[in-house]
Structure 1
Amino acid sequence: MASKIDSEPSESVRGGVSTAKDAVVDRLAGTPLANAARRSGLTGTLSDVANRAAAVFLPDEVVFRAGDDEARFRVSTRFEYRGFAKYRSDPDATVLAAFVRSLRDDDVVWDVGANVGVFSVLAAGRLPPERVVAIEPHPENVDRLRENLDRNGRDATVRRLALDDERGRAELGVSSPDGTGAFGVVGGPTERRRIAVRTDRGDSLVADGVPAPTVLKVDVQGAELGVLRGLEHTLLDCRVVYVNVYEKHFTRGDEGEEIRDVLESSGLRVERLVEWDGGHFLRAVRES
């Protein structure tokens, strides 16, 4: 069973995302298991179990259509399905459609915060593996990203790490339910779990031989300023940059302006592409 999603915004958006997890949680509420979990501080664990259990009510995969291209993505958790379902409507559909339309045959794409690979897989339908670089720190997401590439007979350069403004080690604070499609913030607070991850500067990757991007997408749950600072030199060669600005995760009120300043100081013209309830997506273009 598959669910189909067009990357272009649609005037009529299909009904809401499955509430299978909610049904499982409701069924468990008030039971000895739920009460024990609450007393032990394990409500997150209960949510993780429900997130995976809900998979029996969901399609096995979703299908994305972008122009003449079609790509298939595996679904195994309710949270993962909700992530895919966002692309049925604005703002995510607008960003994905703009990204796909902006690709040229000679581009090098970096998908920073690739998650399970929506942008990477679609880019890999246009470009050879060495010119699509997917960067994602969460181990389960990396495995699913590779699976989604294989599912579509495509390949990319996949790096399991988090981009930052320095090379080293950090903790990824995961606040979403356990399983594929999870989100995390490097050094961020969490009530669930932390994962040790490797960090590196984008400029260092280029110095080590990774092709420099001409198209860059950054979606890293509030860590975007560190990513861009670590790409100080590389940004000078970027043609188009898409950045998801997570205002809701900022610790300082001026971080959004700093992100814009970094892009503009690299010679890019910056515009707000779309707004969402926790921030906005920027598109920065180098004018010829």
Structure 2
Amino acid sequence: MKKSLMISRLPGIIALRNLYLEYRKPTVNISVDGTNCDFIITNHQERKNILSMEEEKSVIKLFLNEIKNGDVFYDVGSNVGLYSCFACKKAQLEEIVAFEPQPEVNARLKENIEQNGCADKTKIIKGVLAAERGKQNLVVDESVPATGATTHSMSPDADGERIEVKAYTVDELITQNACSSPDVMKIDVEGAEYEVLQGMSQVLSKSPPRAIFVEIHDQVKHFGATPDEVKSLLREAG
């Protein structure tokens, strides 16, 4: 009987804890190879998601070894700003350009950038990078807490609410002098990575970034590409 009562009260306890976290907005500190960043959390799921990102420490360490003073870093699919914040704290960068289309996640990204003292050198773009400029549908899974989790996708086969977002190309942003050409890029866009690379063909042929870190997702097939095509495009760019 007591066990059943405890289970029945659990959702209410979680709701109260999340309300408390939203009010206090505590932070979690993550350290990678001597570089420390603080990330704001407002609910239990968000805390769990942020802490699970520690599993990426080996990749983040490799990434940080590529970051140098004076670099321009593009964080494509920035989420809550894990890579942007670490890049900012690691070196004196010329500019960080962080792309995050989901409104709630974009808001948390901005808070984390400010929390880590990186606002003066970070340009946050509420949109996506694609093969062509225009507008695209972003599918949002509202059943999952948005901040700090993979809750949205550009895949045409994804389920969830669809919202319209702006789409840019790297070539366009640079040609229009909206952003500087990147020295280092991180691309994590749930399958749309080939689209992002197609939209920077001029950059890849004339002045390719020194390093590009790409997470290739199985969903890439939903965008008419294969993992091998992504790798081939990168190899051709050197």
TM-score interval for Structure 1 and Structure 2 normalised by the shorter chain: 0.7 to 0.9
Please list the CA deviations of residues 109-144 of structure 1 after superposition, one character each: whole Å capped at 9, or x if unmatched. Answer: 100000010100111124457511111111111111
Return the alpha-carbon distance in structure 2 between the equivalents of residues 50 and 204 of structure 1: 49
Among 88, 112, 123, the residue aligned to 1:148: 112
In structure 1, the partner of 2:144 is 177
CA contact (8 A) 2:71 2:93 kept: no
In structure 2, the partner of 1:163 is 129
Return the alpha-carbon distance in structure 2 between the equivalents of residues 246 and 53 of structure 1: 36
1:106-145 equivalence runs, <5 A: 106-127=70-91, 130-145=94-109
What is the total number of aligned residue pairs between the two structures? 222
CA contact (8 A) 2:71 2:182 kept: yes
> What letter matches 1:159 in structure 2?
I
> What letter matches 2:228 in structure 1?
E
> How far does residue 194 in structure 1 lie from its aligned partner after superposition?
1.7
CA contact (8 A) 1:51 1:79 kept: no
In structure 1, the partner of 2:63 is 99
In structure 1, the partner of 2:170 is 202
Return the alpha-carbon distance in structure 2 between the equivalents of residues 161 and 260 of structure 1: 25
Return the alpha-carbon distance in structure 1 between the equivalents of residues 113 and 51 of structure 2: 19
> What letter matches 1:95 in structure 2?
V
CA contact (8 A) 1:108 1:215 kept: yes
Query: What root-mean-square deviation, in Å, do the aligned CA atoms of Structure 1 and Structure 2 show?
Result: 2.8
Cα pair distance change 1:254/1:225, threshold 3 Å: closer
1:40-119 equivalence runs, <5 A: 55=18, 60-89=26-55, 92-119=56-83
Return the alpha-carbon distance in structure 2 between the equivalents of residues 211 and 244 of structure 1: 23
> What letter matches 2:235 in structure 1?
E
Cα pair distance change 1:105/1:82, threshold 3 Å: same
CA contact (8 A) 1:129 1:157 kept: no
Give % identity: 28
**Which is richer in helix?**
2
Q: SS where residue 157 of structure 1 aligns?
A: strand
Return the alpha-carbon distance in structure 1 between the equivalents of residues 180 and 127 of structure 2: 17
CA contact (8 A) 2:73 2:97 kept: yes
The question of 1:246 aligning with 2:217 is answered yes
Return the alpha-carbon distance in structure 1 between the equivalents of residues 134 and 224 of structure 2: 27
CA contact (8 A) 1:215 1:240 kept: yes
Among 163, 171, 188, the residue aligned to 2:156: 188
Q: If the length of structure 1 is used for normalisation, what is the TM-score?
A: 0.69
The question of 1:234 aligning with 2:172 is answered no
Moved more, 60-69 or 125-134: 125-134
CA contact (8 A) 2:70 2:94 kept: no
Unpaired segments of 5 or more residues in structure 1? 1-25, 30-45, 268-288
In structure 2, the partner of 1:265 is 236
Moved more, 210-219 or 248-257: 248-257
